Structure 1
């Protein structure tokens, strides 16, 4: 087991001036953060602490955690389980704040409706698009391994979700690996067909993180964020139509697409423990074996926030 540290809600602030402006990075697919932003509840809860919030959007998880590592943001909204592994390899000092329970069907390998490809084994020699270091990157590795292939057997194309969708629709890709809500949008708008999803391959757990520097300085902010995420997760699952209607103009998608996407995500926010980080080591080992990480990692060599302790 790794050198796991912990930060406890309500702990004394680190010496020096605690940050008063919190820089929060997120992706378009950061559902619960989008809900909190649209409802204004997170800012309302932080105001009594004398904290202002600034919002910073990123195209995918890897640049988001690169910004966290470079101290350009303080908090990261949810990123897929694969992303922190790459951040650790880059030397990032991460504190895991919260985890969303598995949502394996919320990411998938897609082909066009008229594609001759019928199985993952058919991807040999084909051009496959996906976002580097995203959860879909690991899903692809796991699916290829199960089909008796390696990463070297495909022609990879590292693309943002927007660029991937465009390349997929114009036929520049044989397959596209993507997550919700982009997955549901491609199915409903472009008639994309699922070749394989994460069932039995990749749990697809999403993590909320902080730089360890910020976690030590503002555990009170982490406590507020954790509580609001829990609340938002329950609201989205308990009010699917209302949530879809709220997010539709923000995402620029039909509410029906969003409702389908949200049905696949657990949005069950929970504390991060060594036990539910177990798949992280498997992910790290898979990327190292494919020479996609520069060194072998101990995936548990991170700090874990303990809400309410």
Structure 2
């Protein structure tokens, strides 16, 4: 069971539309998990859900780890997460599987980064040796720290990783309780706007891949509506890349982000559907190797077992 801090923040937004068809796919509800600044805003802004023939129940999460816990316990059906947190969860025993993938078009600085206060002298991972770096365990931020350390030929314990939620990390960085924060959009965009600076640029270490991950129950019982939702999401992604201003306005309204931060988030997080092929699967090996060599898990599950493509 999720703790109160990790509990699902149910939005209460339902698309209670008439179901069509007969049999097990009739009158279904698809429970969709959305990270802050994620799927919900995208689908609402694009209008991709117009005429959807099933109900959608939204649940909001602060980070991928919380969403992945909900997927593992069958509390939600599908949600979008980064490749690194999914692989961490999968190798830790999660029954959830990847059903679709997307890749970032943007190569702008700040989509993923280790940020420091503006007055910090740190300009690289080497400058953070012995320092306190906050992130969420198993997150893309965690992966970034480990990859940056490995690239610099430093051991995984060369920095003092502090496990904090995004909101707690933000406060700790502002007060000086930590020296750096390894995080992702929209948190990076907000931190940079408030005076933080990039010490480690994630563009050097991330492949920019995101996964739609579904619970075992949803893959078994809701394949048709999952496939329909994923097709609508692909269209929404294409729409968002051509309507940046419209998307940013909806994102700001849904998340409470200031409009300039929402605009920066959209520009840094431009994505399109990408096929789950042999190349993409093979590219995930570096993530497993990074976590395994840092002692986070043994990586005993085969990569190909993580994927059940529906889109």
TM range (shorter): 0.7 to 0.9
* Cα RMSD (Å): 2.2
Q: Provide the residue aligned with 1:46 in structure 2.
A: 52
Runs of 4 or more, structure 1, over 6 Å off, are 15-19
Pairs aligned (count) = 287
TM-score (norm: length of structure 1):
0.86
Q: Provide the residue aligned with 1:224 in structure 2.
A: 228
Is 1:87 equivalent to 2:94 in the alignment?
no
The residue matched to 1:209 in structure 2 has which SS?
A: strand
Q: CA deviation at 1:215?
A: 1.6
Is 1:141 equivalent to 2:149 in the alignment?
no
Q: Provide the residue aligned with 1:27 in structure 2.
A: 35
Q: CA deviation at 1:88?
A: 1.3
Q: Provide the residue aligned with 1:70 in structure 2.
A: 73
Correspondence for 1:116 among 121, 124, 129: 121
Whether contact under 8 Å (1:19, 1:218) holds in the other structure is no
* Unaligned 5+ runs, structure 2: 1-20
Q: CA deviation at 1:38?
A: 5.3
Q: Deviations over 1:118-171 (max 9, x none)?
A: 221011100000111111111111111122212211111111111111111111
Q: 1:28, 1:61 → 2: CA distance?
A: 10
Is 1:202 equivalent to 2:202 in the alignment?
no
Whether contact under 8 Å (1:79, 1:206) holds in the other structure is yes
Q: CA deviation at 1:294?
A: 4.8
Q: Provide the residue aligned with 1:180 in structure 2.
A: 185
Is 1:299 equivalent to 2:307 in the alignment?
no
Q: Deviations over 1:28-63 (max 9, x none)?
A: 131x43221456643x4432xxx2221111221112
Whether contact under 8 Å (2:37, 2:186) holds in the other structure is yes
The residue matched to 1:132 in structure 2 has which SS?
A: coil
Q: Provide the residue aligned with 1:243 in structure 2.
A: 247
Q: Deviations over 1:203-243 (max 9, x none)?
A: 13111111233123222112221221112112211111111
Whether contact under 8 Å (1:128, 1:176) holds in the other structure is yes
Q: Residue 16 and residue 228 in structure 1: after superposition, are their counterparts in 2 closer, same or farther (change >3 A)?
A: closer
Q: Provide the residue aligned with 1:56 in structure 2.
A: 59
Q: 2:149, 2:42 → 1: CA distance?
A: 35
Q: Residue 146 and residue 295 in structure 1: after superposition, are their counterparts in 2 closer, same or farther (change >3 A)?
A: closer
Whether contact under 8 Å (1:96, 1:272) holds in the other structure is no
Q: Residue 19 and residue 287 in structure 1: after superposition, are their counterparts in 2 closer, same or farther (change >3 A)?
A: farther
* Unaligned 5+ runs, structure 1: 1-12
Is 1:157 equivalent to 2:162 in the alignment?
yes
Q: CA deviation at 1:295?
A: 4.4
TM-score (norm: length of structure 2):
0.85
Bigger Cα displacement from structure 2, 19-28 vs 143-152 = 19-28
Q: CA deviation at 1:186?
A: 0.7
Q: CA deviation at 1:84?
A: 1.4
Structure with larger RCO (C-alpha < 8 A, sep 6+):
1
Correspondence for 2:173 among 168, 172, 182: 168
Q: Residue 19 and residue 177 in structure 1: after superposition, are their counterparts in 2 closer, same or farther (change >3 A)?
A: farther
Q: 2:93, 2:24 → 1: CA distance?
A: 25
